[in-house]
């Protein structure tokens, strides 16, 4: 009788232990849905040893992501620059199946050779594209989310010590070129994003004022999509933010005015 009870006890203990092991390794509690990847976070991805390189550029993409596709040209430049280095590697992560992700990269002609397939939410990545730089311990040192503006692209390339090969003429315009466009009566809007009081006190000829904080609401109703939009203000970072806002709203012909440091703002008549 004693032996039988002992066997039953051992069996029950084995069942309980098995249940605990199954729960631990196969039914992990879901990641907190409010968790977001941030700098100083440590990422763990099966099959990736961060120590294989001094730093890793990780890009989270999705094949249905509009801004991922629109960023393809930047990713091509980024991949080309990293390919010339020995201390940095580039990895793309997808939630989609391997065949779908590979087809997507091939379609966009983005030469990323190392690709991992993992639940992005398990990494705290809740939107794509997300780009992060990690050190050899897998710690996030820098991070960008969404489609990058021109100044953020430059900052990222500079951070990686890569040559920025995108032409300045693609997103910026100088005073002389602006005057030429105006003289030729090209379709453009000179957009002043300063506060109304500053605009009323002093502004450029032909400028239209939409303060930066009002731009997301007013832009689509007040700015023509078929015109070039030339953005200017007092702060280059604000002009860069305005560029991003208009870019996400579908304005395809955007420029930031490169103002001469010694030139005074033109007075309205």
* Model confidence pLDDT, tens digit, residues 43-87: 999 999 999 999 999 999 999 999 999 999 999 999 999 999 999
* Model confidence pLDDT, tens digit, residues 81-130: 999 999 999 999 999 999 999 999 999 999 999 999 999 999 999 999 99
Q: Specify the pTM.
A: 0.79
Q: Say whether domain 169-258 belongs to CATH 3.30.1360.200.
A: no
pLDDT at 235: 93
pLDDT at 57: 98
pLDDT at 58: 98
Domain ranges of the chain: 50-159, 169-258
Write out the DSSP string of the chain: -HHHHHHHHHHHHHHHHHHHHHHHHH-PPPPPTT----TT-B---TT--GGGSSEEEEEE--TT-HHHHHTHHHHHHHHHHHHT-SSEEEEEEESS-HHHHHHHHHHHT----EEEE--GGGGT--SSSEEEEEETTSBEEEEEESSPPHHHHHHHHHHTT----S-GGGTEEEHHHHHHHHHTT-SEEEEE-S-HHHHHHS--TTEEE--GGGHHHHHHHHS-TTSEEEEE-S-HHHHHHHHHHHHHTT---EEEEE--TTPPPPPP-
Q: What percent of the chain has pLDDT over 70?
A: 83
pLDDT at 1: 53
pLDDT at 246: 97
* Model confidence pLDDT, tens digit, residues 156-174: 999 999 999 999 999 999 9
Q: Say whether domain 50-159 belongs to CATH 3.40.30.10.
A: yes
Q: What percent of the chain has pLDDT over 90?
A: 81
């Amino acid at each position: 009788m004693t032996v039988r009870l002992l066997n039953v006890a051992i069996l029950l203990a084995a069942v309980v232990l098995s249940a605990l092991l199954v729960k631990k390794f196969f039914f992990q509690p879901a990641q907190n849905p409010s968790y977001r990847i941030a700098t100083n976070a440590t990422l763990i991805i099966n099959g990736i040893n961060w120590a294989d390189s001094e730093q890793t550029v990780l890009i989270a993409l999705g094949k249905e992501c509009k801004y991922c596709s629109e960023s393809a040209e930047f990713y091509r430049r980024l991949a080309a620059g990293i390919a010339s280095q020995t201390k940095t590697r580039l990895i793309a992560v997808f939630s989609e199946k391997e065949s779908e992700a590979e087809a997507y990269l091939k379609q966009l002609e983005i030469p990323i050779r190392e690709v991992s397939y993992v639940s992005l939410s398990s990494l705290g990545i809740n939107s794509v594209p997300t780009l992060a730089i990690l050190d050899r311990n897998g710690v996030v040192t820098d991070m960008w989310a969404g489609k990058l503006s021109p100044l953020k692209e430059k900052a990222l390339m500079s951070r990686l010590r890569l040559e920025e090969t995108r032409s300045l003429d693609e997103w910026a315009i100088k005073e002389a070129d602006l005057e030429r466009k105006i003289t030729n009566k090209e379709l453009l809007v000179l957009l002043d994003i300063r506060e109304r009081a500053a605009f009323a006190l002093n502004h450029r000829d032909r400028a239209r004022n939409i303060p930066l904080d009002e731009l997301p609401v007013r832009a689509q109703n007040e700015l023509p999509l078929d015109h070039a939009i030339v953005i200017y203000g007092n702060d280059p970072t604000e002009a860069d933010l305005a560029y991003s806002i208009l870019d996400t709203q579908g304005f395809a012909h955007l420029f930031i005015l490169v103002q001469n440091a010694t030139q005074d703002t033109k007075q309205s008549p």
